Amino acid sequence: MALPNLSPEDRKKALEKAAQARQARADLRQKIKGGTMSFADVMKKSDDPIVARMKVATLLESLPGFGKAKAAKIMAEFEISESRRVQGLGARQRELLMQRLG
């Protein structure tokens, strides 16, 4: 896929928008890791673009007491692809995650 030719002004706007999205995801991960936001709270906001576009692995790794190994184990157990994002979770996968972590 060819990249569109953006004017310097449009490119700057796109870079700023991407930086804001990254910062919002970082803030969300910090809230989760700090315990001010639970897994259930995050899943309730799954229609929010910031939450929807977050990878499930990143979300699980942000939970207190979870690391890459624990997150990978749960994802393998529930047959969730490593590249799956929150918006792409199936109903069964959501239900299983909520039962285990919610």
**pLDDT tens digit sequence for 71-102:** 999 999 999 999 999 999 999 999 999 999 87
pLDDT at 32 over 80: yes
What's the confidence (pLDDT) of residue 101?
A: 87
Domain boundaries, the chain: 17-101
Mean pLDDT of the chain: 91
- Range 57-62 average pLDDT: 94
Is 102 within 8 Å of 39 (Cβ atoms)? Answer: yes
* Chosen CATH of 17-101 out of 2.20.25.90, 3.40.50.2000, 1.10.8.50, 3.40.190.10: 1.10.8.50
When pLDDT is averaged across residues 57-81 and rounded to a whole number, the result is 93
**Does 4 score more than 90 pLDDT?**
no
Number of Cβ within 10 Å of residue 102's Cβ equals: 14
Cα 25 from Cα 22, distance rounded (Å): 5
